[in-house]
Amino acid sequence: MRVMIGMSGGVDSSVAAALLHEQGHEVVGVTMRLWGGESDTGCCSVSDVDDARRVAQQIGIEHVVFNFSDEFDEHVVQPYVDAHQKGITPNPCIECNRHLKFERLAERADELGFDAVATGHHARIGAHANGRLRLERGADLAKDQSYVLHMVTAEGLEHTSFPIGHMTKDEVREHAARLGLRTAGKPDSQDVCFVSRADGREHFLGNRIPLRTARVVDRDGTQVGEVPSVEMVTLGQRRGLGTPGGGPVRYVIGVDASSDQPTVIVGDADDLLVSSQIVHSMTWVDDAFEGEALAQTSAHGDPRPCQVTSIGEREVQIDWDLRSTRIAPGQSVVLYDPTNTWVIGGGIAQRSPL
């Protein structure tokens, strides 16, 4: 089988490529050049591309670089900036997976006559009783990445491979060490690749949009502080709100960045809790779903029991079994079956009413 594997320069994709080669497949490693600006984080730095190329040489497979920088700017970077300007907290890594690491890479693989696309994600592909494929959590729950892959459909899974999904992270590193791969001890990437550690998010956004001050008010509308950049504020935040010390702890429960006078609304811990959440732009691994599920609201968050009800095209309401913390609008909500084994689908949190 001809397999195109995305190689980010990290240990997971390195071992995934090695395993496929060991299994006798015709493997070509591909590194996507996504971000053309400065990068000292994530999977877009020059050193990461070099690591991927050298690992491919060690394994004995061909390696190529695809330049998808225009698509990356269109589908990931610009939406990231636009979201912050609207007071929304985006999830750029999920959009990168959606548009580049799966959709665009799959298109290119099909154009070039490959049978499948592989990645180094910690996730597994299983099957329902009727034979339909499903996306399952990785064997190493501490490293499970099914949350960020929720947009991959059952049809897409037919041409997808996750070679290390059955392995723990320690096993991946041990395999890399046995092969002498240069990435065996390389730390995991944690940051947004186009926001450098040296300059940070505020510098990145400030070079692209005007950052605006905002009043910080309580639920009665009384001003209690001020923030220099409303675009930097997110739901649940409790620091950097310009409020006087010594008073009650206040949390951000709402952000209004749409007007000429941006406003941040704060409240107490109980104000952060809600009974339901609207989720839009839903995608389903298989069929649309209603009923009992578990909802995960961050990459490594704890799944919480809920009831899912369809309220419109690609829109659902989640009713929590127990009141739950508000989700920052723009963040992904991913649904799992009640056994917490496989992904049902996912979407984007809508702003909750106060």
Q: Give the CATH number of the domain where residue 216 resides.
A: 2.30.30
Residue 59 and residue 72 in one domain? yes
pLDDT by residue (tens digit) across 54-67? 999 999 999 999 99
Residue 78 and residue 173 in one domain? yes
Residue 6 lies in a domain: yes
pLDDT of amino acid 194: 87
Residue 45 and residue 175 in one domain? yes
pLDDT over 90 at 46, yes or no:
no
Residue 86 lies in a domain: yes
Residue 16 and residue 100 in one domain? yes
Report the alpha-carbon distance of residue 348 to residue 282 in Å, rounded.
7
pLDDT by residue (tens digit) across 211-241? 999 999 999 999 999 999 999 999 999 999 9
Residue 155 lies in a domain: no
Per-residue pLDDT, averaged over 277-305, amounts to 97
Per-residue pLDDT, averaged over 329-348, amounts to 98
pLDDT over 70 at 38, yes or no:
no
Mean per-residue pLDDT over the chain, rounded: 94
Look at strands 291-296 and 251-256 and give their pairing.
Answer: unpaired
Residue 196 lies in a domain: no
Report the alpha-carbon distance of residue 51 to residue 47 in Å, rounded.
6
Residue 185 lies in a domain: no
pLDDT of amino acid 199: 82
Residue 75 and residue 174 in one domain? yes
Residue 11 and residue 109 in one domain? yes
- For residue 221, the enclosing domain spans 211-267
Tell me the CB-side half-sphere exposure of residue 116, using CA atoms within 13 A: 18
pLDDT of amino acid 45: 67
Which one, of 66, 61, 62, lies nearest residue 107 by Cα? 66
Residue 71 lies in a domain: yes
pLDDT of amino acid 77: 95
CATH number at residue 300: 2.40.30.10
pLDDT over 80 at 135, yes or no:
yes
pLDDT over 80 at 247, yes or no:
no
pLDDT of amino acid 90: 95
Residue 167 lies in a domain: yes
In this prediction, what percent of the chain has a pLDDT beyond 70?
Answer: 97
Residue 109 and residue 257 in one domain? no
46-59 and 11-22 helices cross at what angle (nearest 10)? 20
pLDDT of amino acid 242: 87
Per-residue pLDDT, averaged over 243-263, amounts to 88
What residues are annotated to the active site?
A: 96, 193
Neighbours of 258 (CB within 10 A): 10
Residue 71 and residue 173 in one domain? yes
Domain count, the chain: 3
Residue 325 and residue 226 in one domain? no
Residue 284 and residue 253 in one domain? no
pLDDT over 70 at 43, yes or no:
no
Per-residue pLDDT, averaged over 313-324, amounts to 97
Residue 27 and residue 111 in one domain? yes
Look at strands 26-33 and 2-6 and give their pairing.
Answer: parallel
Report the alpha-carbon distance of residue 29 to residue 24 in Å, rounded.
15
Computed on alpha carbons and rounded to an integer, the radius of gyration of the chain in Å comes to 22
pLDDT over 60 at 40, yes or no:
no
Q: What is the largest CA-CA distance in the chain?
A: 68
Residue 148 lies in a domain: no
Residue 56 and residue 175 in one domain? yes
pTM: 0.94
